[in-house]
Amino acid sequence: MTAGRFLPYSRQEIDESDIEAVVEVLRSDFLTTGPRVGAFEDAFATAVGAKHAIAVSNGTAALHAAVHAAGVSKNDEVIVPPITFVATANCVAYCGATPVFVDVLPETLLLDPVQVEARITDRTRAIICVDFAGQPCDYDALRELARKRGLVLIADACHSLGGSHRGRLVGTLADLNAFSFHPVKAIATGEGGMVTTEDDEFDRKIRAFRNHGITADHSQRSAAGTFEYQMLSLGYNYRITDFQCALGQSQLRKLPGFLEKRRMLAQCYDRVLADIPWVRPLGRAIDVEHAYHLYVVLLDTEALGMDRDRAFRELRAGNIGVNVHYKPVHLQPFYQYEYGTRSGDCPVAEAAFDQLLTLPLHPGMSSDDLEDVVRALRRLDPQGVV
């Protein structure tokens, strides 16, 4: 890392081919609802092995569309994990339903299927599982549980594009699978998202939902030579532009290389952090292919002799862009005021939060950058033991 340069925890990787793809669209007739949207959807569906892929304006829109397609509405409950970005729970609230926070497994911070089963009620309509940091959840257990109880399984796969569970690619593991293309994610479109599904009815609902509940978009009406359209349900403007989709399609071609670099960096972290006793990477299952959106560790703050917040500040002061993913959502003021959640609801997640630290990891990092991170971690030890 160049002296004085801040190393972010993640960032996009854009090259000339990405720029050329966007410029080509800017010189074309369509900036939105044009041919590049469908081309990106087709390429994405092929990449993950899904029947349908529906592009939307961002990852939150993808989650909202998935929850809507699942038929979630007022008086329903939806099970969500607490260790996630707030959008996972917010999309349940958008639909007038109640998010039910169920604790995570201590080693991986993934949704605990045993606790999920214990929290299902007659009001439960769906389960949203989050592939935290890029590791797929236990989809065998969750699919069986959803099937047995007649629930819709939704994967918040915003971290896990390119991952797999027992040989099945992320994007095919749940009834509905939501992705994000924010600049820190596996591929970038600026903002953008996607929902994949095998279900024709889910596909139809989401395509209308992203376009105000209207049955035909501008390009479809133009092709049919008509101005007529019907709004059959209440939807939103969650459309995505053609130039974003051109960027996404260009980025998608680079995904294998991005994943290879992320996994190589993660292996390097695994190796060198084994010598630092107060840093513990999250556990990883043997039957998954991890996408490594994030490299998350737990600090043994007692052994280190400082709390996580101080470690965060000192690393940031040294230009190491660590982050924290995430404060448990049920501890956010909105959920405490509106839904009565409180400290103690999810003890595993709450205990982990005080130790969580995300280390820099992205395809633009060099081995020297990684060594800088590790040196900065070693310098934290006030006893000089490591």
**Residue 133 DSSP label:** G
CA 70 to CA 79: how far, in whole Å?
13
φ/ψ of 84, rounded to 5, equals -170, 170
Catalytic residue among 51, 185, 205, 254, which?
A: 185
- Burial of 342-367, coded b for 16+ CB within 10 Å and e otherwise, reads eeebbebbbebbebbbbbbbbbebee
What are φ and ψ of residue 116, in 5° steps? -60, -50
Asked if omega into 337 is within 30° of 0 (cis), the reply is no
Q: Specify whether 185 is catalytic.
A: yes
Residues 6 or more apart in contact with residue 223 via CB below 8 angstroms: none
Helix/strand/coil for 277: coil
Kindly calculate the radius of gyration of the chain based on its CA atoms and give it in whole angstroms.
21
What's the number of CA atoms in the CB half-sphere (13 Å) around residue 236? 15
Residues belonging to the chain: 386
C-alpha distance from residue 337 to each of 139, 340, 345 (Å): 32, 6, 14
Q: Residue 356: which residues within 8 A CB-CB, separation 6 or more?
A: 296, 297, 298, 308, 324, 325, 326
Give how far the C-alpha of residue 190 lies from the chain's centroid of Cα atoms, to the nearest Å: 15
Rounded to whole angstroms, the Cα distance separating 110 from 138 reads 8
CA distances 368 to 5, 118, 262, 265, 374, Å, are 13, 47, 15, 11, 10
| CA pair distance 196, 194, nearest whole angstrom | 7
The Cα 169–Cα 161 span in angstroms is 9
Catalytically annotated residues: 185
